[in-house]
Amino acid sequence: MQAQLKKMKQLPPLSFDLRVKRLKQLATTIKSYENKIIEAVSKDFSHRCHQESQMAEIMVCIDEIKHALKNIKQWTRTKTWHTNWKFFPSKCAISPQPKGVVGIMAPWNYPFNLVIEPLVAAIAAGNRVMVKPSEITANTAQLTQQLLADVFTDDEVHVVLGDVQVADAFSRLPLDHILFTGSTQVGKIVMRNASDNLTSLTLELGGKSPVLIDDDYSMSKAASSIVQGKWFNAGQTCIAPDYIMISKKRKAELVTALKDKIRECYPSYADNEDYTAVVNQNHFNRLSQLLEGLDQSQVLPLSGNGEQATAQKIAPTLIINPPSTHPVMQQEIFGPLLPIIVTENLDSAITFINNNPNPLTLYFYSNNSNNIKKVRTQTKSGSLAINETLVHFAQEGLPFGGIGASGMGSYHGYQGFVAMSHMKSVYYQSRINFNGLVRAPYSQLKKKVLQILS
C-alpha cells in the first residue's frame, strides 16, 4: 500500500479530458456489469432483493455519473471572486485543484454504491484514488476491484482488499483526503489514525434517524412511506427510520396502519424474493440480542404465518414503547426492528431529539408549514426529509452528510467535487497598485489615508 501510494503521489493529477473519458467508461462498464453486481451483492447478503440492488447500487450511481458529466466543466472552472474595492483594480479568484491521492473506505450495507459515489466525486475533481471496500461483502469487493481495473489503470484507481487490520493500516496512510463511510465508532478510530498525517476527512457516519408524525398527517400515507424506507434492504440503511415518535392518541392507528402495509408489501418474509436478508450471523445475533430484556407483548413480528426467523432473515418487527434506556433506544438498530415511542407533543419530541446525538436524517410527516419550519429550525440533523423516506439520498445535486455524531462534511454533486478539491484562493495584483499608500514609514498623509479607509 505504502509503495503504491508513493508512486501515485508522484504522478500528475488526471487531466480534464481523462476525467470525462473515465467517467463515461465507468457508466458504461457499470451497465455491462449490472447483473454481476446484483448477483455478487445478493451472494454476500445470502439474499438481497434484486430490485433494491438495481435502484440503490446501479441506478443511483449512473445518475451521479451523469450529473457529474453534465456539470464538470462548470465545476472545474476558475471562478472570479469579489475583490475588496480598496484593492481595485486587482482581482481575486477561486481555482479548484485536485487534493492528490484520495482514500475511500466503504461499509458493507451498499457495498458497491458507497465505493462508486465517492469515486465519482474524486475522479471529477481530478484525484488518483485508493479504495478499501468492506471485507464483510467480499464477493462485491472482488467484483468492484475487477470492474474498476477494466476502467482505470492501477495508478489512477487502486483497490486494496483485506480485513480490519488492512483497513486500519489504510487509514494510517499519508493520503491527501479520506472519505470514510461507516459507523460512528470506527469513524473515531479513522479520525485518530488520520490525524498523524493531518489527512483531511469526510466522515459519513450512522446513528439513529427518528420519524415524527404530525397530528394532521394521513396515517396510511405515512405508514406506506415508512414501510418502504425501513424495510428496504431489511433496515440495513444508514438513513433507515430508526424509531418513530407518535402522540398517544394516534399510537393505535399507527400500529394498525403499519401492520396493514407490511402485510401488503411483505405477506411472507423467509422465502420472499422482495425481502432482503440480514448480512451475516454476527448481525443476526446482534439484532436478536437487541430484543433481550423486552416484554414479549412489546415485540410484534409482522410478517409471515408463523415462519421462523432464520440466520439470514428476521421478520419486520415493531417494538412498542421500549424504555429510553434499553439498548434498542441507545444503539443504531441497522436492521428490521422498529421501535415506536409515545411522545406528549411536537415540542417534547423536539426536546428528545435534541437531547440525543444528531441524527443523520430526521423524517417529519406533516402538512403544517409552521410545524415543518419549527422542526427545520429547532433540530440539528444531517438532512431533513418531509413526507418521504430515503429518496433524498438519490438527489444527485443535494449535499449528503451528517453533523456531529452522524458525520463531518458532505458529498454528492458539486459538494462532492468541493470535498475532493482544494478550493485554492488566488489573488492577482494589478500593475496599478495603491497599496504603497499605507506602507511604512507612516507619514501624516498616510495616516490620513488610513483613517479614511478604516
Q: Which residues bind ligand NAD (CB under 6 A)?
A: 105-109, 114, 132, 134-135, 164, 167-168, 171, 181-183, 186, 189-190, 204-206, 238, 332, 334, 360, 402, 407
CB neighbour list of residue 295: distance below 8 Å, 6 or more residues apart: none
Length of the chain in terms of residues written: 454
Question: Smaller CB distance to ligand NAD: residue 164 or 252?
Answer: 164
Shortest Å, Cβ 165 to ligand NAD: 8
Shortest approach of ligand NAD to residue 30 CB, angstroms? 19
> Which residue out of 204, 265, 344, 396 is catalytically annotated?
204
Judge contact between 35 and 136, C-beta under 8 A.
no
Q: What is the closest distance, in whole angstroms, from the C-beta atom of residue 204 to ligand NAD in the complex?
A: 4
Closer of 182 and 416 to ligand NAD (Cβ): 182
34 is catalytic: no
Q: At what angle do helices 16-32 and 34-45 cross, to 10 degrees?
A: 70
- To ligand NAD, the closest distance from the beta carbon of 228 in angstroms equals 18
Catalytic residue, from 49, 64, 238, 396: name it: 238
Determine whether 344 is an active site residue: no
Read off the amino acid at residue 213: I
Q: Regarding beta strands 317-320 and 361-365, do their DSSP bridges make them parallel or antiparallel, or are they unpaired?
A: unpaired
Rank residues 179 and 319 by Cβ distance to ligand NAD and give the closer one.
Answer: 179
Question: Which is closer to ligand NAD, CB of 57 or CB of 204?
Answer: 204
Joined grid coordinates for residue 176: 491527501
Mark residue 234 as left, alpha or beta (left: phi above 0; alpha: psi -120 to 50; beta: remaining): left
CB nearer to ligand NAD: pick between 144 and 343: 144
Q: Which is nearer to ligand NAD, 205 or 211 (CB)?
A: 205
- The three-state DSSP-derived secondary structure of the chain is CHHHHHHHHHCCCCCHHHHHHHHHHHHHHHHHCHHHHHHHHHHHHCCCCHHHHHHHHHHHHHHHHHHHHHHHHHHHCCEEECCCHHHCCCEEEEEEEECCEEEEECCCCCCCHHHHHHHHHHHHCCCEEEEECCCCCHHHHHHHHHHHHHHCCCCCEEECCCCHHHHHHHHCCCCCEEEEECCHHHHHHHHHHHHCCCCEEEEECCCCEEEEECCCCCHHHHHHHHHHHHHHHHHCCCCCEEEEEEEHHHHHHHHHHHHHHHHHHCCCCCCCCCCCCCCCHHHHHHHHHHCCCCCHHHEEECCCCCCCCCCCCCCCEEEECCCCCCHHHHCCCCCCEEEEEEECCHHHHHHHHHCCCCCCEEEEECCCHHHHHHHHHHCCCCEEEECCCCHHHHCCCCCECCCHHHEECCECHHHHHHHCEEEEEEEECCCCCCHHHHCCCCCHHHHHHHHHHC
Q: How far apart are CA 131 and CA 118, in angstroms?
A: 10
Q: Which residue has the CB atom at the shortest distance from ligand NAD?
A: 206
The catalytic site residues sit at: 204, 238
